Chain A
C-alpha cells in the first residue's frame, strides 16, 4: 500500500488486527449485499467474544450465521433475527446476547456513529419495550426517546465497484446498510466485485467517499438468494 492506494490482495491482510472482544459493524440486508469473503475470514481466524451490529444474522450456513457455528459471537445488535436454528439454540441457552433494535434506529445509530453524533432522539419505539431505561423528551408535545449511536473497531461492507482510493459504488438494493456501516468503523474493509483505477468512477456518482474506507479487496461472490420469487414471463 502507498499513498491512497487501499487495495489488499489477501483476506488475512484485509482483516488484520481484528481481535477477541471487538465490535464489528456489518452491512447487508438478509443475504443481500454481504461481504461474504470477509465473514469467511473472520470464521477462519476464530476470533471470539465479538459484538456484531448488523440488520440480520444470516442463515445457518451462510452470511453472519456461520460465525455462530464456533460460538464466535457474544452479542448481536439487529432488527430481525432468527432465520436460523443455531441462533435460536444459542439464544435460549444464554450463550448469545441479542439487542433488538428497530431497523431505522439501527441505520441511524450507524450513520450518527460515523458522523460524530453520540446520540439522537427518535419517536420510534416510544411506549414499547425498546424505550425501557431510555431518556424521554418532548418536542412540540410529542415524546421521543434518546438512542445512542454505534461505532466499531471494524466495519465490513460489500460494494459493487471500488477504485484503488476506496471510493465505493453499490448496486441496486445491495446498498442497504453498507454506506452507513462504512462510516462507523475505525478500520473499514470493503469487499467488492470489481476494482478500477482512480478516475474511472464518476465523482458525483460515488456513494461512499474513500475517506471512510481503509482497505479494499476484490472478492468472489456466491450471492445466494434467500427467497427466490418469480412471475411467468
Chain B
C-alpha cells in the first residue's frame, strides 16, 4: 500500500531531532508538525518572520497581525521570537535553519529540485522556496513518486525550471524513502507492501538498491 499524506508526514517526522529549528512548507510538510516524536522539542520557523510557531488560534485569540507564511492565522509558541523579513531570510540563507521540508514537482539524481513553475501555466512565484533550498542545512522533499498519469517525478534531470541546484538530501514519497548522493537516488526504505520492483519501475533517474530494503514501520 502506498502511503497517504498523513503517513508521509509521519515518516518525515522521524527525521526530526531534539533542538531542531525547522521550516515546513505548505501542504504535506505542514502536517509534519502533528507528528513530532515524544520527548523531542523542535521550533518551527515561518519565513514571514516568526520563530516558534504555535497552533492555530481559538476564535477568541484570532489576531490579524499574527499569520504564518501561508497567510493563515496562527499563534506564537512559548519562547517565540518575531522579526522582520530580512532577519528571517538571514537565518535561512545563513544556514541557521536545521531542516527544511517542502513539496516539489520533480527532483533529479543530482539533488536539483523543481517546485515553483510550470511553463505556460499561471506562474504565481517562488515565494521563499529558492532562499530555503539555497540555505537550509538539510532539505527533505515530500511528493508522490509518480504523477497520476504514472510519470516518474524522480528524474535523471529535472525538465521544469529549477528552484535550486544540488540541494535535496532526502525524499519521502508515497512509495519510498530515498537518499540523494553521488549523482543517484539510494533506496533506503519502502512503504509497507510496496515491492522494490514497483519503486524501480517508477523511478526514472539512476536508482541504487543495496541488499534487502526494509519496510517503513509506523508506531
Contacts and interface: CB of A to CB of B under 8 A. Distances in A.
A192 B86 CA distance: 21
Interface string A148-177: 000000000000100000000011111111
Interface in B70-87: 70-74, 76, 82-86
A207 B64 CA distance: 20
Given A104-B92, A125-B130, A232-B58, A172 B66 contact: yes
B73 A104 contact: no
A224 B125 contact: no
B197 interface: no
Contacts of B131: 102-105, 124
A133 B27 CA distance: 33
B71 A226 contact: yes
Q: Which of A103, A129, A180 has the most CB of B within 10 A?
A: A103
Interface string A100-133: 1011111110110000000000111111111000
Given A81-B125, A231-B58, A233-B60, A128 B85 contact: no
A227 interface: yes
B65 A33 contact: yes
A97 interface: no
Contact of A32 (B64, B128, B165): B64
A230 interface: yes
A7 B25 CA distance: 41
A127 B157 CA distance: 13
A176 B130 CA distance: 18
Q: Which of B56, B59, B62, B125 has the most CB of A within 10 A?
A: B125
Nearest to A228: B73
Q: How large is the interface on A (under 10, 10 to 19, 20 to 34, 35 or more residues)?
A: 35 or more
A88 interface: yes
Nearest to A114: B86
A179 interface: yes
A214 interface: no
Classify the secondary structure of A's interface with B. Answer: loop
B125 A30 contact: no
Contacts of A124: 93, 130-131, 134-135
A78 interface: yes
A80 interface: yes
User: Which 8 A-B pairs give the minimum distances between C-beta atoms?
Assistant: A104-B89, A104-B131, A127-B165, A223-B64, A107-B85, A102-B130, A80-B125, A103-B128
Interface of B: 46-50, 55-60, 62-74, 76, 82-86, 88-89, 92-93, 112, 117, 122-131, 134-135, 161-165
Given A176-B48, A230-B58, 15 more contacts: A29-B69, A32-B64, A102-B128, A103-B85, A103-B126, A107-B88, A108-B86, A124-B135, A128-B161, A129-B161, A160-B65, A172-B66, A173-B49, A176-B84, A180-B86
Interface of A: 29-33, 55, 78-82, 88, 100, 102-108, 110-111, 122-130, 160, 170-180, 207, 223-233
21 contacts: A29-B71, A31-B71, A104-B89, A104-B92, A105-B130, A107-B89, A111-B86, A124-B131, A126-B164, A127-B112, A127-B164, A128-B162, A172-B65, A172-B76, A173-B48, A173-B65, A180-B84, A180-B86, A223-B64, A225-B62, A229-B72
